[in-house]
Amino acid sequence: MREQLQRFGGFMAGMIIPNIGAFIAWGLITALFIPTGWIPSERFSELVGPMIVNLLPLLIGYTGGKMIHGTRGGVLGAIATMGVIVGSDIPMFLGGMIMGPLGGWLIKKLDEALEDHVPVGFEMLVNNFSLGILGTIIAMLGLIIVGPVVEGITEAFGSVVQALVDAKLLPLAAFIIEPAKVLFMNNALNHGVLSPLGVVAAEDTGKAIHFLLETNPGPGLGLLGAYWIAGKGLMKQSAPGAIIIHFFGGIHEIYFPYVLAKPLMILSVIAGGFAADLWFTIMDAGLLAPPSPGSIFAYLLVMPKGQHFVVLTGIAIGAIVSCIVGTIILKVRPIADEVGDKEASYDTGSGVPGLG
């Protein structure tokens, strides 16, 4: 079981790590040009939506398919991922991580079945049409099945969070919020559940703890700090830049791939989120409004008078706890080892008749 988990972690890492640069590019564009960014630009901000909805999931799907069956697997993985993108209104990163490898595996099996049955001279015709026909079928299945299923998972997360809030068990919400965030369900939870509840609470007390639960930059800061301290390779090298985008730019999505690359690291942000939320609950902390984006500067603008120490301390607690837990995980289970295992375990050849 341990070996299988390591292989799974290595495969997940292999889909995410090559695309870290694309996530950073999107994070920079978002932090700079959205209406609440550093240098708002209506023209350049048009890049934000298409990149997170289309480009990034497609890159993940292509990479996952390519890991299974070379370039043909990558192309089929991207086609399959497009189906779930069209079939959903949320960023389909989870869909890409499912459909990309699935598409690569299916085209690999199809190529193996056809390998000894293709007449000489018809290899290119058969290869192109087999990929096109299979791509059509799997894209349609992704649109009508996988996309709605992932959206249903998002709604389920939101319902559980609302139940915890209603039961006044806010610290436990971290066990739902943090995993949901790294699957890019953060906006659905924040704007669909927590912010409406917070607005109602703020009308009575002038502040609401709900605005702190999903937007807290502390756990993500601690996670990235752990990669900077104990990570290896590209993950370690890119962590400082990601910290700037996350903590000062308020783009939390920048740290999600670091968790997806090593799923065990979800324990780091859960621990940080739980510790911070427990502190906020005990100290009766709250904000005036949702910070947008979730940067430290946006936090400073919506802190009520007399709440600065309490809120900033909660952010620090979340960062410290997350960093400690993440560093321990990376020391015990280094991510570089898992990526190496993955590269040695998965076929990256084309396996296509006539292509070598």
What are the tens digits of pLDDT across the range 125-173? Answer: 888 899 999 999 999 998 998 878 877 777 777 677 778 777 778 888 8
The interaxial angle of helices 147-166 and 93-114, nearest 10 deg, is 150
Residue 208 bridge partners (DSSP): 287
Contact indicator for 339, 15 with CB cutoff of 8 Å: no
Tally the C-alpha atoms within 13 A of residue 239's C-alpha that lie toward its C-beta: 21
Residue pLDDT, tens place only, 286-312: 888 778 778 888 888 888 888 899 999
Q: Which residues of 336-349 are buried (b: 16+ CB within 10 A; e: fewer)?
A: bebbebbeeebeee
pLDDT at 129: 92
pLDDT at residue number 2: 60
What was the pLDDT predicted at 132? 94
Q: Let me know: does 306 contact 337? Beta carbons within 8 Å.
A: no
C-alpha span between 230 and 322 (Å, rounded): 13
- How much is the pLDDT for 37? 74
Cα distances (angstroms) measured from residue 251 to each of 11, 28, 106, 202: 26, 9, 36, 25
pLDDT value, residue 121? 80
Alpha helices in 87-217 (DSSP H): 93-114, 123-141, 147-166, 174-180, 186-189, 195-205, 210-213
What stretch of H or E contains 85? Answer: helix 56-86
How far is C-alpha 325 from the chain's CA centre? 19
Helix axes 266-282, 308-332, angle to 10 degrees: 160
CA-based nearest residue to 292, from 205, 182, 198: 198
Measure the N-to-C terminal CA separation of the chain; round to a whole number of Å: 34
Nearest 10 degrees: Cα torsion 188, 190, 191, 195: 150
Residues of the chain with pLDDT under 50: 337-356
Which pLDDT score, from 0 to 100, does residue 191 have? 67
- Residue 65 is encoded by which pair of tokens? 């398919």
Q: What is the pLDDT of residue 343?
A: 41
Domain ranges of the chain: 168-348
Q: What is the pLDDT of residue 294?
A: 80
Reading the block at residue 230, the tokens are: 């104990």
